[in-house]
Amino acid sequence: MTTTDTEKPVTAKDAGLAVCHDCHKLVDFRNISASTLSCPRCGATVHLRYKGSLNNTWALVITAAILTFPANLLPIMSVEYLGQKDLSTIMDGIIYFFQSGSYGIGAVIFTASILVPCFKIIGIVLILLSIHFRWRGWLRHKTVMFRFIKFIGRWSMLDIFVIALMQVLVTFGSLSTSGAGPAGTYFTGVVLSTMFAAITFDARLLWDS
């Protein structure tokens, strides 16, 4: 985007350009039909704006927000030791690590399992609301925030990886066994929903206002 003190901001769309999301080449679409626009370098379809981007993103982020409640309230892990079964939620595990002195592990799990999913949901909702209500301020900051949300999306799966490792390392026949609780499915749904919400969202819509 380019702008001067006296001129209105000019976007790539205003200049007749669209970016290829596969090879990132700028394509001049002024003399080409938008329905058949393709990248001359890699042949991928080039979209001026993704159709249904806002609706799809809203649906996915609302799904993530709903799944957050069972993901945090239900047990995410079960450990059976000498016939006694112990169920723990995400917060139970975080409290256990802090009480046992493993502050680093507790902080990492708290960040990846609680803060990051909430930050992604709140961040995407704020971006969607800014488009709906045409809030024109902080566009660059919102764009950077969206890129950060998209980058950190996969790291929320840390809890699932920990449970998978525990199932292998803490299983000793009839002595002790461990497995995923019902919250594991909901937590995976939260992570996948926020990841797909970031993928389906077209960040260029921020600048259309």
CA atoms within 13 A on the CB side of 90: 29
Query: Per-residue pLDDT tens for 127-143?
Result: 999 888 888 778 888 88
Range of the domain at 80: 52-208
Q: Which two tokens stand for residue 40?
A: 């001359």
Q: Which of 60-74, 99-113, 148-162 holds the top average pLDDT? A: 60-74
Query: Per-residue pLDDT tens for 87-100?
Result: 778 888 788 878 88
43 and 139 share one domain = no
Residue 184: which pLDDT band, with cuts at 50, 70 and 90? confident
70 and 140 share one domain = yes
The count of domains in the chain is 2
pLDDT for 31: 60
124 and 61 share one domain = yes
CATH of the domain at 65: 1.20.140
pLDDT for 4: 44
127 and 77 share one domain = yes
DSSP letters along 5-40, please?
SSS--B-TTTTTEEE-TTT--EEE-TTS-GGG-B-T
Q: Which of 59-68, 111-120, 159-168 holds the top average pLDDT? A: 59-68
